[in-house]
Amino acid sequence: MIRKMKTTSVILICLLMTGFALSASAETSLQIDDEIGDVFDYITEDAVERPNIDIEYVNVTIDNGDVSLEMKLAEGGTVQNIGSETLAFIYGFELITTALDEYTYTIVFGFDETANGGEGAITCSASVVDTSGSTIEDLPDAECDGVGTNYFTVTFDLLDSDERIISITGITTELDVSSSTIYLDSAPNEDEFVFLEPDAGDTYSGSIGDTITLSGDIEGNPDDYTWLWKFEELPIELDGQTASYTFTTPGIHEGILYVYDNNGNYGEDYFTVNITEGGSPDPGDDDDNESTPGFETLTLICALAIAFIIFKKRK
């Protein structure tokens, strides 16, 4: 329970009703609970009582692309807006969606020594981070709230309103340079996260007009997980451990299978569908065919390594 804070990742997604097509604009949410009293001292690795950064749970709700993040602190804790080069509190989120193969969302509220012309200031910063950890876009409209209460909230808009929730991580930090202490908490804890290892089946082959059945596998009970097949270049997302699609476009179509649960665990595997010329194409194109399977649902891996950021600030 103590060794838990590196670059953590978590997982989720709303309730999946396999076989029913649901509107992507419907509200979806995920909540990850955290044990009270599990804040740890980064130096000694001992558990400590620090209610101002002790996370009780983190929650994300997405409604037609509008994101609401919430972090509840333990009883007696309040969100702090104290920040200087010697004492700082930081509250952050990492949000992972079905755009994971391209980017994730990182939100940090706390002291930024580069702000205010280098004099430092309390800031609320939200950004889109690519798979290498580089910021590709800032989200200036993000709003942070909750100072003086035990609820820290953030609102912003997704880049694509059709993105679904996969994972949410909350991270808090208290740094006191004068006493050389760093306290950390995260939800979920790293020792509670399991990186899943699904098998997407590698390569599938067929001709134009053929219905290709994708079939995945995983250790344990496959019904415990949500399955999402996503193509890199085609606007197609299919749900279910087994999913079928009739392809009308020839070529080598590469994709990713995401598997995740509502306890903060997820994994991925890559697959390829090779479609050749021949056969009798069905009318229409892949855009029109996107909804035919009837399986659509609601919609620091790169980086909230806040501990690393804080160590940089001490230099």
Residue 122: both structure tokens together: 């309390």
Q: Is residue 58 pLDDT above 90, yes or no? A: yes
209-226: average pLDDT = 95
Q: Is residue 134 pLDDT above 90, yes or no? A: yes
Better-predicted residue by pLDDT, 283 or 267: 267
Q: Is residue 315 pLDDT above 50, yes or no? A: no
**Per-residue pLDDT band at 123 (split at 50, 70, 90):** very high
Nearest to 261 by CA among 224, 303, 206, 315: 224
Better-predicted residue by pLDDT, 310 or 10: 310
2-11: average pLDDT = 32
Q: Are 92 and 108 in contact (CB under 8 A)?
A: yes
159-184: average pLDDT = 92
Q: Is 190 helix (H, G, I), strand (E, B) or coil?
A: helix
94-102: average pLDDT = 91
Q: Is 21 helix (H, G, I), strand (E, B) or coil?
A: coil
Q: By percentage, how much of the chain surpasses pLDDT 90?
A: 62
What pLDDT digit, counting tens, does each position of 32-41 carry?
999 999 999 9
pLDDT of residue 202: 84
d(CA 18, CA 223): 10
84 forms beta bridges with: none
Residue 129: both structure tokens together: 């981070």
Amino acid identity, residue 101? D
Other Cβ atoms less than 10 A from the Cβ of 244: the count is 14
What pLDDT digit, counting tens, does each position of 62-89 carry?
999 999 999 999 999 999 998 777 889 9
Better-predicted residue by pLDDT, 189 or 36: 36
Q: Is residue 20 pLDDT above 60, yes or no? A: no
pLDDT of residue 26: 66
Q: Is residue 13 pLDDT above 70, yes or no? A: no
Cα 63 off chain centre by: 16
Q: Is residue 60 pLDDT above 90, yes or no? A: yes
Rg of the Cα trace of the chain? 21
What pLDDT digit, counting tens, does each position of 236-266 carry?
899 999 999 999 999 999 999 999 998 888 9
Helical H runs in the chain?
Answer: 286-289, 306-314
**Per-residue pLDDT band at 194 (split at 50, 70, 90):** confident
CATH code that applies to domain 203-289: 2.60.40.10
Q: Is residue 23 pLDDT above 50, yes or no? A: no
Which range has the top average pLDDT, 14-18, 40-44, 192-196, 303-307?
40-44
**Per-residue pLDDT band at 190 (split at 50, 70, 90):** confident
What pLDDT digit, counting tens, does each position of 136-171 carry?
999 999 999 999 999 999 999 999 998 989 999 999
Nearest to 80 by CA among 143, 145, 147: 147
* Report field, pTM of the whole predicted structure over 0.85: no
Q: Are 18 and 295 in contact (CB under 8 A)?
A: yes
Segment 46-49 long-range contacts (CB within 8 Å, at least 24 positions apart): 46/2, 47/1, 47/2, 48/183
For the chain, domain boundaries: 28-194+299-314, 203-289
H, E, C per residue of 209-241: CCEEEEECECCCCHHHCEEEEEECCCCCEEECC
Q: Is residue 133 pLDDT above 60, yes or no? A: yes
